[in-house]
A and B are shown apart, each in its own frame.
Chain A
Amino acid sequence: MAEAAHHYDETMPLEYRTEESRLNILGFWIFLGAEVALFATLFATYLVLFQRTGHGPTTADLFEIKDVMIETLLLLTSSFTCGLAVFEMRRRRLTGLLVWLLVTLLLGAGFITFEVREFIHYVHEGATMQTSAFLSSFFVLVGTHGAHVSLGIGWMTLIIIQLLQRGFTPRTARKVFIVSLYWHFLDVVWIFIFTLVYLTGMVM
């Protein structure tokens, strides 16, 4: 550990003030690089398999644009509100930060609700993970993203609790910033799911 672990530099935002925080933020960026590789592999699998539907339904049979647009708008907006939360944090307004984080959480929960409903709907139509290679890869790709969002909701909840307990510290600020990176990243992944899974599936 560097000697400068508790060295303060007043010109920096709170989340960057300790050496430890700077290392953690950079490490998380690198981790997101690994996540890109992870999702790229899932996309590759999906794109190789999505026309291999066996006896099961095809993309055109299943997808409905309305549900997808609701999910997309919920997540896009949550990415925006998450950005606002960090904006408020940099202006040192704890209430603003908490409010926007909470809004982000609720939008995320709304997204998950719609996604679960969508999945249940498919299963009721007989389109399960076991039906065909297309559906296996669909559920695993979109499900992995959904699992990430769910994890993000749990994570953000922990951070909100810590903010309520401890207020602004270099540590809590760094945690808020890192979870915000995670959240924006999940939005980016969703954009590609929206494009390469849903739109492509409905066009082809």
Chain B
Amino acid sequence: MGTNYHHETFPWKHIVGFILSLVLTFAALWIAFSSGLATKAILTGIVVLAVLQAVLQLFMFMHVTESDSGKIQTINMAYSFFIAIVVVAGSIWTMAFVL
């Protein structure tokens, strides 16, 4: 099992992560208000950006793959992503018939 604890002298990973998260946030803002896309396209776009940012936090800041339990941690997060999709999309779909 990989135990890739990072040892750096300057927090490059964090700074890059931070800049990327800012870029993604402002990109979402731009898509929402200035892109002129159709509503559906906007929603798809910003959700994709949010997922990207979540992945970014997991890997750049939280070191999800780190330690001798890295594999378990990653599977755990992937499975929780599956559950989140099921609960959110499932509820919306199932309840869509209610006026």
Using CB atoms and an 8 Å cutoff, list the residues of chain A in contact with chain B. 12-13, 16, 22, 25-26, 29-30, 32-34, 36-37, 39-41, 43-45, 47-48, 65, 69, 72-73, 76-77, 79-80, 82-84, 87, 90-91, 180-181, 184-185, 187-188, 191-192, 194-196, 199-200, 202-204
How would you classify the secondary structure of chain B's contact residues: helix, strand, loop or mixed? helix
Contacts of B46 in A (CB 8 A): 195, 199-200
Contacts of A84 in B (CB 8 A): 11, 14
A-B CB pair tally, cutoff 8 Å: 135
The answer, among B14, B69, B92, for a CB contact under 8 Å with A47, is: B92
Q: List 12 A-B contacts (CB under 8 A).
A: A12-B5, A25-B67, A26-B69, A36-B81, A37-B87, A40-B88, A41-B87, A65-B33, A80-B17, A184-B61, A191-B53, A195-B50
Would A47 and B91 count as touching, CB distance under 8 A?
A: yes
Would A36 and B43 count as touching, CB distance under 8 A?
A: no
- In the complex, what distance in Å separates the CA atom of A33 from the CA atom of B83? 9
Contacts of B62 in A (CB 8 A): 180-181, 184-185
Would B69 and A188 count as touching, CB distance under 8 A?
A: no
The answer, among A12, A37, A76, for a CB contact under 8 Å with B18, is: A76
